[in-house]
Amino acid sequence: MFWTSQALILGLAHLAASKPFSSQSKRWDDFGVKHAWDEVPRGWELHGPAPTDYTFDMRIALRQDRFDDLVTALYEVSDPTHERYGQHLSKEEVAALVAPHRDSVDLVESWLAAHNLDLASSERSHAGDWITIRVSVAQAEKMLGTKYNVFRHGQSDEYVIRTMNYSLPNVLHEHVALVSPTTYFGTMKSMKATSFIHEGGPTIQSDPNLARLTGPNSLATVPSSCATTITPSCLRALYKTSDYTPSATKQNRLGVVGYLAEYANRADLDTFFKSFRPDAVNSSYTTVLVNGGGDDQSRPGVEANLDIQYTTGISYPTPNIYYSTGGSPPFIPDSYTPSNTNEPYLDWLNFIVDQKDIPQTITTSYGDEEQTVPRDYAIRVCNIFAQLGSRGTTLLFASGDSGVGGGQCLTNDGQNRTAFMPAFPASCPFVTTVGGTTHVSPEVAVDFSGGGFSNYFARPSYQSKDVSTYLTGLGNQYSGLFNSSGRAYPDVSAQAQGFQVVVNGRVTPVGGTSASSPTFAGVISLLNDYLISKGKAPLGFLNPLLYSKAASALNDITSGSNPGCGTNGFSAGKGWDPVTGLGTPDFSKLKKLLG
């Protein structure tokens, strides 16, 4: 994932020639708070002090010197009216824009050396904007002016070592964006997979619509059965992809991101194909193991199977990749075995940006309440998404399954104020967020479709007009419950209920925006196939296109709402709305529009 670069050797030479660190030690004790929680994040409880000799990998994110230039480039290559549209950046060009300033590197290296840490053992990202170094709890507490404790997550019975606050020497604040693990409590077991088994929902063992999907007697309308039981043929008919056969299968790829203990199962996929996509029987997907991820075929995951069965079910024969990201096991209170940070989300992100070739489309179906993610952490993760988008990858995220917010909808800033609860990464402006629909002829918003407005990220210019129009129509309703100037989501939507998924050999009905995101990803992957087959660049970051010329090629969803927080939530309506976004895809119209 990381490697020590020549810059490290040069840096060490520079340090050897500089003044002794002891003469500068005073400034390392001049702390300023970087991030602090007012209360233990909900769902977690204090278990006890962390053992001082416990060691972990500390990740230090250095300020990216030319990140504003990267964002400028991202919007230029993603804007269909700009002369640079489609001229995506290379891995090396991105690295040059996000590399830290030499002053930042020198200061951080001096700080680490002042704490007697072995710089030669540190690892650097390709761009040099991340430094990873092994530290003990005692060292970390001294470096960050804090106290680490063991916390337990009640629902998953998972333990992590975290801190309620951390500080940095004031001289480092403008040079260091983030230190991890510190105040981000989320782990993959406490994050929400945005899917759920629909207990008692209808199931079918084979698809009666397959014979009529293509050919002279192809479906003129979407079968009424698709209102309750979704299969690939339903989605291919509904979103008009059934007549398209991918041809750029040597270049185009579709990625699905999976996390701790969620394994896609090949036997289940084969059973799924036999029942619902017979022409794909005997095809499969590639598993890429990230950071010790597994591929246990005896433990099929509902989330993983849902994702891979529907990305392949729509995009076949496009190659699909399932990224199984491991991360370290959770901390065990009675065993002080050294481990990593137990933050597999960062593990996957740092892995993927270091790859030379990245799938043109990637879908992810996990998320947290935005307020549970420290702002500095969320910003840094969101910035990584900008890097991927600038390289020509479309990133799709599920919008969540709690409407405008689940649970008590209380702020965690010490005020316990009632408010809508936006989700992250759905709220990041550099990703395309997918909400949920249900029924056919017409589609309507599904009532759990996550949607709202970020409290961390400002509204980006690409959606300003559409969101302003919606807010004007909304008036003063829900005033004070959401940040009307924040990044609004979802951007688009797709079916989210009644998906027929094979798990352990049996068909299981599954719902959630976890179904919506891979569905939309499948359609985008087909569009990328079309573009690549014509010698054109893939779509990359979608949103500037979606909110401009592509809006007319989407099916506007005008009814339904997403209740939550004791309210009826937002309502779908004409144009963009924070329930279904701009609408669901029409492949034939999008393909024609892209030429």
Q: How far is CA 26 from CA 177, 273, 283, in A?
A: 22, 66, 63
CATH of domain 193-325+360-594: 3.40.50.200
Identify the active-site residue in 307, 369, 401, 466.
Answer: 307
Identify the active-site residue in 65, 109, 262, 303.
Answer: 303
Q: How far is CA 439 from CA 57, 197, 200, 435, 447, in A?
A: 48, 18, 18, 14, 12
Q: Is 106 annotated as a binding residue?
A: no
Q: Which two tokens stand for residue 158?
A: 């998972």
Record the pTM: 0.92
Length of the chain: 595
d(CA 563, CA 560): 10
Q: Which two tokens stand for residue 315?
A: 């995009």
Say whether the peptide bond before residue 100 is cis (omega within 30 degrees of 0). no
d(CA 268, CA 203): 16
**Residue owning tokens 């185009």:** 252
* 307 classed as catalytic: yes
d(CA 24, CA 110): 9
d(CA 374, CA 351): 22
Please enumerate in sequence order all residues whose Cβ is within 8 A of that of 382, keeping only pairs 6 or more positions apart, or say none.
425, 428, 429, 430, 431, 457
At residue 310, φ and ψ (nearest 5 deg) are: -95, -25
Q: Is 577 annotated as a binding residue?
A: yes
What single string gives the DSSP state of each residue in 43-111? TEEEEEEPPTT-EEEEEEEEPPTTHHHHHHHHHHHH-TTSTTTT-PPPHHHHHHHHPPPHHHHHHHHHH
Strands 130-136 and 423-424: unpaired
* 303 classed as catalytic: yes
**Residue owning tokens 């998906």:** 499
Q: Which two tokens stand for residue 31?
A: 């702390």
d(CA 427, CA 454): 5
Say whether the peptide bond before residue 429 is cis (omega within 30 degrees of 0). no
Question: What is the C-alpha R_g of the chain?
Answer: 24
**Closest to 71 in 3D by CA, of 358, 383, 357:** 383
The amino acid sitting at 115 is H
pLDDT of residue 219: 52
Q: How far is CA 492 from CA 93, 333, 469, 516, 524, in A?
A: 30, 43, 17, 9, 12
Strands 192-193 and 130-136: unpaired
pLDDT of residue 289: 93
Identify the active-site residue in 104, 122, 242, 514.
Answer: 514
Q: 181: which DSSP letter?
A: S
Q: Is 401 annotated as a binding residue?
A: no
CA angle 240, 440, 451 (to 5 degrees): 95
Q: 41: which DSSP letter?
A: P
Is residue 2 classed as helix, strand or coil in its secondary structure?
Answer: coil
Q: Residue ranges per domain, the chain?
A: 6-64+99-185, 193-325+360-594
Q: How far is CA 301 from CA 193, 232, 567, in A?
A: 11, 19, 33
* 156 classed as catalytic: no
| Helices vs. strands in the chain: H and E counts, helices first | 14, 27
Q: Is 569 annotated as a binding residue?
A: no
Residues (pLDDT < 70) of the chain are: 1-26, 187-195, 211-220, 260, 327-342, 344
d(CA 518, CA 524): 10
For residue 515, what is the enclosing H or E element?
helix 513-533
